Amino acid sequence: MALLLLVLLYCARRFSLHIKKQMLNMEPQQLSQLLIQQSVLFESVFEGLIAIDSHHRITAINQTARRLLNLSQPESELIGYAIHHVVLPEAFFLRCAAKKQKR
């Protein structure tokens, strides 16, 4: 019984080290702080920012980008959408060109 307990403790420790390694050797509190800092920085930038993954799905979009693109949905609803379903290049550039002509 004691041997089984030691084996389980050893396996639990190895598993926790494996998870920590996959999380860039950061403790959960450090990861949480990093995510908060990233979020604050992302929203404080004056430019519109959209982050996408390798499959062209939105992983983050700041308020400025949503305003520039006339998107009323909150970020949480846009996460996971393919960028080409959210940003239609023709419409965006035509709108920008029209604004420049009005000036």
* Boundaries of every domain in the chain: 1-44, 46-103
Q: Tell me the pTM.
A: 0.58
Query: What is the distance between the alpha carbons of residues 7 and 28, in angstroms, rounded to a whole number?
Result: 25
Q: How does pLDDT run across 51-101, given as a tens digit for each residue?
A: 889 999 999 899 888 988 889 998 899 999 999 888 876 666 666 666 667
Tell me what pLDDT residue 2 has: 74
Tell me what pLDDT residue 103 has: 64
Tell me what pLDDT residue 93 has: 65
Would you say residue 46 has pLDDT above 90? no
Tell me what pLDDT residue 20 has: 72
* Structural contact between residues 50 and 65, judged by C-beta atoms closer than 8 angstroms: yes
Query: Which of 73, 40, 47, 37 shows the shortest CA–CA distance to 58?
Result: 73
Phi-psi region of 62 (alpha: psi -120 to 50; beta: other; left: phi over 0): beta
Query: Which of 89, 46, 85, 39 shows the shortest CA–CA distance to 67?
Result: 46
